[in-house]
């Protein structure tokens, strides 16, 4: 009994002491008792140091991660910028190299004024042209691009014979003048009568004859071959004008291009008895754009001329929106270039597109005046319309668009 009581007292005392120590521990975390019951004070400074050191270690780790991420992003940015600059430089070199040493042949046109000028001037350079008491020289810094709209709604594909390349229903020259920082547009009537190369169904050359300029593209495979033959016909028409590049787009791409800029606003236009009437503005979307630029009446005389006027108005509105988009985001033209590529044949590569996109921000569109060939439309012997251009007017337009005036002190 004594032992049991002693056990109980010991147990009771131990319990009370444990409870007291637990209570003390709950009320004061700064002290604790060891297993012998001795009171100790906690070293908070050491604990706080461990806490601080732990967070400091994490901050250093995050700093290292952040620095690595920033370095990778910087390297990526530098790589993209470097790639852009390389493409830009290569594109510029290629574009100017393609026309290096070439010039129109206006100076070779034999006129009394031209001959008298060469004999009377103390200084005279090859390629200079004298016209109405002024001297002009070809601006070899100009970049000229031939834009073709091909009468085909499908993706481009190589044709099996030499006469199914498709007609170039719309023809425009885009002229980038670095002196004025303006882009001029020259519209070419599809029925312009000029020299074109004719090929047979096997693709073999037959002869060179006079025909509508739009047919030159048809004598080919619908791909690069057709484009090169159309380019040759246009260049010859403009006195062997150097052309920096061509872009042929099947008309099936028009809705895609139109909608990519959010639609194009143009006036309603009707044509009757040789007169064009203008109505209220309309914003074209999708197939409406295609119908506007392509449709023409087959019963109205010179309906091709009316369609050209519609195309000029549409191109002006489209290019205005596109130029604004490119100025805000130069990469947008590259994106559009890639999107319409299934409908397109061009000899302008990505590096050249990159260079042109970078230049667009510095240029303005000279669309108040879209140049056109002056002349007269007649009905041909085979029942097709034929447009005969005014040679004097073409000569003057060449001087105005592609040449620059030479200061008097350089030749007198």
Poorest-pLDDT segment among 16-25, 36-45, 203-212, 269-278: 16-25
Q: What is the mean pLDDT of residues 134-144?
A: 91
- 150-203 pLDDT, tens digit per residue, is 999 999 999 988 889 999 999 999 998 988 888 899 999 999 999 999 999 888
Can you give the pLDDT at residue 89?
A: 62
Question: Which residues pair with residue 210 across a beta bridge?
Answer: 195
pLDDT above 90 for 41 = no
Tell me which residue of 383, 304, 345 sits closest to 220, measured CA to CA. 345
Can you give the pLDDT at residue 3?
A: 43
Higher pLDDT, 359 or 223: 223
pLDDT above 90 for 28 = no
In terms of average pLDDT, the best of 116-130, 268-282, 357-371 is: 268-282
Where residue 61 falls among pLDDT bands split at 50, 70, 90?
A: low
Can you give the pLDDT at residue 8?
A: 38
Two structure tokens written together for 195: 């020299």
pLDDT above 60 for 347 = yes
- Looking at the chain, the whole-number percentage of residues with pLDDT higher than 70 is 72
Where residue 239 falls among pLDDT bands split at 50, 70, 90?
A: very high
- Please state, in angstroms and rounded to a whole number, the distance separating the CA atoms of residues 214 and 234: 10
Where residue 101 falls among pLDDT bands split at 50, 70, 90?
A: confident
Can you give the pLDDT at residue 350?
A: 75
Mean pLDDT (the chain, rounded): 79
Tell me which residue of 313, 316, 308, 345 sits closest to 191, measured CA to CA. 308
Can you give the pLDDT at residue 79?
A: 38
Q: How far is CA 391 from CA 31, 237, 241, 376, 388, in A?
A: 110, 10, 15, 12, 9
Rounded to a whole number of angstroms, the CA Rg of the chain reads 39
pLDDT above 60 for 21 = no
Q: How far is CA 215 from CA 152, 158, 172, in A?
A: 14, 17, 15
Q: What is the mean pLDDT of residues 252-275?
A: 90
Can you give the pLDDT at residue 369?
A: 74
CB 167 within 8 A of CB 365: no
């Amino acid at each position: 009994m004594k032992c049991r009581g002693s056990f109980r007292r010991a147990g009771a005392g131990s319990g009370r002491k444990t409870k007291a120590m637990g209570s003390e521990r709950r009320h004061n975390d700064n002290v604790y008792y060891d297993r012998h019951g001795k009171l100790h004070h906690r070293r908070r400074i050491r604990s706080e140091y461990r806490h601080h050191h732990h967070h400091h270690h994490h901050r250093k780790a995050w700093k290292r991660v952040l620095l690595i991420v920033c370095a990778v992003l910087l390297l990526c940015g530098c790589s993209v910028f470097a790639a852009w600059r390389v493409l830009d430089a290569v594109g510029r070199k290629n574009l100017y190299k393609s026309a290096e040493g070439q010039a129109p042949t206006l100076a070779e046109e034999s006129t009394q004024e031209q001959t008298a000028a060469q004999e009377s001037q103390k200084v005279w350079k090859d390629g200079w042209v004298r016209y109405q008491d002024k001297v002009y020289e070809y601006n070899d810094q100009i970049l000229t691009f031939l834009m073709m709209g091909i009468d085909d709604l499908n993706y481009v594909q190589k044709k099996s014979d030499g006469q199914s390349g498709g007609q170039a229903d719309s023809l425009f020259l885009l002229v980038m003048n670095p002196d004025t920082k303006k882009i001029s547009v020259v519209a070419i009537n599809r029925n312009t009568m000029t020299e074109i190369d004719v090929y047979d169904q096997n693709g073999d050359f037959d002869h060179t004859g006079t025909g509508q300029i739009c047919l030159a593209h048809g004598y080919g495979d619908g791909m690069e071959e057709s484009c090169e033959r159309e380019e040759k016909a246009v260049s010859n028409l403009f006195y062997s004008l150097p052309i920096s590049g061509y872009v042929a787009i099947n008309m099936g791409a028009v809705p895609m291009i139109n909608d990519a800029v959010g639609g194009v606003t143009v006036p309603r236009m009707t044509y009757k008895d040789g007169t064009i009437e203008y109505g209220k503005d309309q914003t074209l979307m999708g197939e409406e754009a295609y119908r506007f630029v392509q449709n023409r009446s087959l019963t109205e005389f010179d309906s091709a001329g009316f369609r050209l006027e519609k195309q000029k108005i549409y191109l002006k509105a489209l290019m205005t929106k596109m130029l604004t988009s490119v100025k805000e985001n130069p990469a947008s033209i590259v994106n559009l270039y890639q999107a319409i590529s299934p409908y397109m044949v061009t000899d302008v590569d990505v590096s050249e597109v990159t260079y042109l996109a970078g230049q667009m921000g510095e240029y303005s569109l000279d669309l108040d005046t879209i140049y056109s060939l002056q002349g007269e439309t007649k009905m041909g012997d085979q029942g097709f319309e034929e447009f005969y251009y005014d040679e004097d007017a073409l000569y003057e337009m060449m001087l105005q668009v592609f040449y620059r005036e030479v200061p008097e002190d350089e030749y007198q």
